[in-house]
Amino acid sequence: MPLRRDEGGPDLLVRAQMDIPLERLSARNSARGQSASPNRAARVASAALRWAEVDLAVPEKRRGEFGTRPCRMRAVHAFEDRPPDGAEPLEWMLLTTLPAGTEAEARDILRMYRLRWRIEDWRRILKSGCKAERIKRAAAINAVIA
């Protein structure tokens, strides 16, 4: 049952609410081509959810390669109407090929997206802190030699 009707038609109905835990973010200075990010305290964002199937048109210059049939995707949109004072409101628009026809599926997609940031942090630490790129290159060279 819709909680609220937004302007724009029936496809934009808010279908559910979800509390999304947001982890603390340390401030990051601008370095190595990365943009700076402000400090953020851990909090729980109360987000409205909506989801729908969407068709993405193939760009004209790629139609010879992919044809003209649009690509069927699922869009999951989470947005926070009333963030705490001084906090930037959460808004995620996710496009996926995973099924997102039910509330449970939309929630699963958002949970997976939250994990992405842990994976990105882990990769960044391996790359910069542990110099994993050098290890990867050395392993590739040793594999060829072996």
In a domain, 135, yes or no: no
DSSP reduced 3-state for 113:
helix
Domain count, the chain: 1
In a domain, 139, yes or no: no
What range does the domain containing 28 cover?
Answer: 4-113
Mean pLDDT of 5-24: 74
Tell me whether residue 49 is in a domain: yes
Which DSSP helix (H) or strand (E) runs through 43?
strand 43-56
pLDDT for 100:
93
Q: What pLDDT is stored for residue 38 in this prediction?
A: 62
Centroid of chain to Cα 35: 18
For the cut 90, the answer to whether the pLDDT of residue 13 exceeds it is no
C-alpha dist (Å) from residue 62 to 10, 70, 85, 95: 32, 12, 45, 20
Tell me if 19 is assigned to some domain: yes
Task: List the Cα angle 35/36/40 in 5-degree steps.
Answer: 130
Q: pLDDT class for 3, splitting at 50, 70, 90?
A: very low
In a domain, residue 134? The reply is no
Does 120 fall in a domain? no
Is 70 exceeded by the pLDDT of residue 65?
Answer: yes
The answer to whether position 45 is within a domain reads yes
Position 68 in a domain:
yes
Judged against a pLDDT cut of 50, whether residue 52 lies above it is answered with yes
Which tens digits make up the pLDDT trace of 73-104? Answer: 999 999 998 999 988 899 999 999 999 999 99
105-129 per-position pLDDT tens digit: 999 999 999 888 777 777 777 777 6
The pLDDT of 24-47, averaged and rounded, is 71
pTM: 0.68
Mean pLDDT score across all residues of the chain:
81
**How far apart are the C-alpha atoms of 141 and 144, rounded to whole Å?**
5
